[in-house]
Amino acid sequence: MFDAPITPFIAALPKAELHMHLEGSLEPETIMELARRNGVRIPYASATELRAAYDFTDLQSFLDLFYLGLTVLRTGEDFYAMTKAYLDRAAQDNVRHAEVFISPQAHLRRGIAIAPLMDNILQAFDDVVAERGMTGGVIVGIQRQFDEEDALSMLNTLQPWRDRIIGLGTGGPEKGNRPAKFRRAYAKARHDLGWRTTIHAGEEGGADFVCEALDILQVDRIDHGVQAEADPDLMRRLADTGMPLTVCPCSNIMLRVFPTMQAHNIRRLHEAGLCITVNSDDPSYFGGYMNENFAAIQQALGFSDAELWQLARNGFTSAFMAEADRDRHLAELDKITP
Ligand code: ADE
Ligand code: ZN
């Protein structure tokens, strides 16, 4: 689907991935293998059949498969293997820093114990830090289709890992689930837990969702945010404040937010002075990891290497990371001249 050439420049560009759902990195082959091993029923006969179902009409049609696919995860080893596989795959794309969303509510509701889940995911991060010097961590994602009490209960459950979690985010069906629904959860994350915050807003919801996320939740980043373009005042505000948007080009085409990559507004957002980053969202479902996303926008929208370099730089400057790590990554980026 996304087969634009990955140029040597794109391959060599150091990258930060800020918007990726760990459960969205499970490849169909892994889902089928885990289903067999863990005795979980998946209504598809083969990985080929499952992959053929990745023909989405909107966000909800994808979420139905995403929430089905993650039910094959049962043991701590499953969570370790998924995390390590993603980080190793990201490293092939020269991702040097990865912040990944997890969806704890989806697992807690299935009776999965939280300790093996968190400890194994974090162990995989520790291992890639040691092996590769990669940095990153976990952002816990609220599922917005559930009520705020459920989100607050998840935050309590995660209290023992408070210092190992870098942020709070929110995903799930946007329509009908406005950002303000999670006002108390975001206040708790910021004030009590000391976490950074972000939220999916303006993917299928309107520019007003982005405004609400800024005004009421006071987030540090916006995930997607592409619908902001409909509101000129908001566009000016985003540019003036340098508020990062974590844009996911291949995802937006697969979920029909834009009909084609040529019709994507990422170039206009960038040219309007917004802080735009490039990300893969759910790479196994959307046909592209980081390099494919960079290559797709270069081919369809004519981004120069210098412009791609700037988007990669935005990833590092927008990351929730220690300043010493940021300086180290930016120094590596400076060695690559467009
Ligand atoms: N969960 C996983 N991917 C998502 C997306 N693109 N939007 C909302 N929720 C998600
Ligand atoms: Zn997402």
pLDDT digits (tens, 9 = 90+) for 288-326: 999 999 999 999 999 999 999 999 999 999 999 999 999
Per-residue confidence (pLDDT) for residue 1, from 0 to 100: 80
260 CA from centroid of ligand 2 (Å): 19
The encoded tokens of residue 269 equal 């957002």
The pocket around ligand 1, CB under 6 angstroms, is made up of: 21, 24, 59, 66, 171-172, 200, 203, 251, 281-282
Q: Cα(273) to centroid of ligand 2, in Å? A: 23
pLDDT-above-90 percentage for the chain: 99
Can you give the pLDDT at residue 274? 98
Q: Which single residue is written with the structure tokens 């340098």?
A: 242
Closest ligand 1 atom to Cα of 172: 9
What are 111-125's pLDDT values in tens digits?
999 999 999 999 999
Nearest ligand atom owner, CA of 173: 1
pLDDT of residue 188: 98
Residue 248 CA, closest ligand 1 atom number: 6
Residue nearest to atom 2 of ligand 1 (CA): 21
Q: Is the pLDDT of residue 248 over 90?
A: yes
**Gap from CA of 8 to ligand 1 centroid (Å):** 30
Sequence-distant (≥ 6) Cβ neighbours of residue 196 within 8 angstroms: 166, 167, 168, 220, 221, 320
Tell me the pLDDT of the chain averaged across its residues.
Answer: 98
Quote the tokens at residue 98. 């990865």
Q: How far is the CA of 47 from the centre of ligand 2 (A)?
A: 23
Ligand number nearest to the C-alpha of 100: 2
How far separated are the first and last CA of the chain, in Å rounded? 27
Q: Is the pLDDT of residue 337 over 90?
A: no
Which atom of ligand 1 lies at the shortest distance from residue 171's CA? Answer: 9
Please give the structure tokens belonging to residue 178. Answer: 């406005």
Q: How confident is the model at residue 213 (pLDDT cuts 50, 70, 90)?
A: very high
Over 90: is that where the pLDDT of 20 sits? yes
Model pTM score: 0.98
pLDDT digits (tens, 9 = 90+) for 166-185: 999 999 999 999 999 999 99
Return all residues near 142 (Cβ < 8 A) that are at least 6 apart. Answer: 105, 151, 154, 168, 169, 170, 171, 172, 182, 185
- Specify the pLDDT at position 91: 98
Residues designated catalytic: 203
Which ligand 1 atom is nearest residue 204's CA? Answer: 7
- Distance, in Å, from the CA atom of 201 to the CA atom of 215, rounded to the nearest integer, reads 13
**Regarding the domain delimited by 8-330, which CATH topology (the fold level of the hierarchy) does it fall under?**
TIM Barrel (3.20.20)
